Amino acid sequence: MPHEQDDPAARAPAAKRWRVGITNRSTPPFVFEDRGFRGEAEFVYLDSSRETDFAAEKLRDLDALLIWSPTLGEETIGHLEACRIVVRYGVGYDRIDIAALNRAGIAFSNNPDYGVTEVAETAVSMILALQRRILLHDWRARSYRETWQGNQIRPTKRVGETTVGLIGVGRIGGCACRMLSGLGFRVIGYDPYIPAGSEKVLGFERVHDLQDLVRRADVVSLHCPLTEETRGMVDERFIAAMKPHAILVNTARGALIADLDCIERALRSERLFGAGLDALTEEPPQDEPLIRAWRAGEDWLQGRVIINPHVAFYSDEAWDELRFKAAETAWLYLEKNMHRNRIGEPPEDGDQENEGRRQGCQT
């Protein structure tokens, strides 16, 4: 009789408890996802940003799907025959057919708390750079020869006399609020979905009318999710209601702005002094007037616009954290029957704990 150590079955690795699909952006080896699943998952790499590339046979026996940038529609969801939960690596979920997931009895969660401080820091950094005219001074100073210190730029307001209006005062907006208040900015906020008294905790003046915020703010910073209520909210009328020479910052979702043309016209006419954009209506951006002027470094725009490639969330630590937390959310649901950050209706066969909150104007 062979010794146990010689038995091939004894030497084979133990079967993994869960089979989990992972889409683009997270690449093997899935170290942080493996930690989230406590070493109990076999991972199937779906290396594409298009759901039409996902082979049906790879989807059928997945217990969970972790998704980054692809859309997820009804046809693909129909192939998830064994799947119990889909988790999006990021915060926004406007490209996910939640209703189809509900019909299929598949739970869905987003991942809202991995890069909170990073996004807030980016928004505050853009506000400071534009409000203090730092980029514009840097650009103009290149041509100074005979004069130097006398080249002030008007208007430049003192921080303590500058009002920042936050649209959305949830996780990220609240974090930005604390940072801005610490720097001395006056902060007002609009968010009908956060509890009464939140303004006392965070230290901002709560306004109950969006138009009131737009009218009063020297800087408007967007921190709300993309919903039918907020899609295209920043348009010609919105900008026309802002103070002359105001600043607009968007580190949330690109489609909160109706189009880049309204931003270009407002900057060119100097209705807006500046804009800081981490998220765009289309990514990568197309050959629109604002993008052409920005890429060409046209003089009228220099120092007045900041465009980042949707990286406000990023730090080395946040990237690792988002991968771990997305995986752990799926593991908690499969292993502990706990539904963290739930979006949509619970499946009929479960009574999972809902740790999420109504999204509303919050991020």
List every span in the chain annotated with CATH 3.40.50.720: 15-114+316-354, 116-307
Q: What is the rounded distance in angstroms from the CA atom of residue 37 to the CA atom of residue 330?
A: 8
How confident is the model at residue 199, as a pLDDT? 96
> Which one of the listed residues 265, 310, 321, 335 is annotated catalytic?
310
Question: What is the per-residue pLDDT across 10-47, written as a single tens digit (0 to 9) for each?
Answer: 554 568 899 999 998 888 999 999 999 999 999 999 99
How confident is the model at residue 346, as a pLDDT? 53
Active-site annotation holds for 353 = no
How confident is the model at residue 2, as a pLDDT? 47
Intervals of the chain under pLDDT 50: 1-2, 4, 9, 12, 347-363
Q: What is the rounded distance in angstroms from the CA atom of residue 356 to the CA atom of residue 112?
A: 9
How confident is the model at residue 16, as a pLDDT? 86
Q: Which CATH class is domain 15-114+316-354?
A: alpha beta
Give the rounded percent of residues in the chain with a pLDDT score beyond 70.
91
Q: What is the rounded distance in angstroms from the CA atom of residue 352 to the CA atom of residue 140?
A: 58
The CA-atom distances, in angstroms, between 257 and each of 16, 90, 212 are 45, 20, 19
How confident is the model at residue 349, as a pLDDT? 39
> Which one of the listed residues 84, 253, 304, 340 is annotated catalytic?
253
Active-site annotation holds for 79 = no
Q: Which residues pair with 338 in a beta bridge?
A: 353
How confident is the model at residue 42, as a pLDDT? 97
Q: What fold, for 116-307?
A: Rossmann fold (3.40.50)
Active-site annotation holds for 264 = no
> Which one of the listed residues 74, 161, 283, 355 is annotated catalytic?
283
Question: What is the per-residue pLDDT across 204-232, written as a single tens digit (0 to 9) for each?
Answer: 999 999 999 999 999 999 999 898 999 99
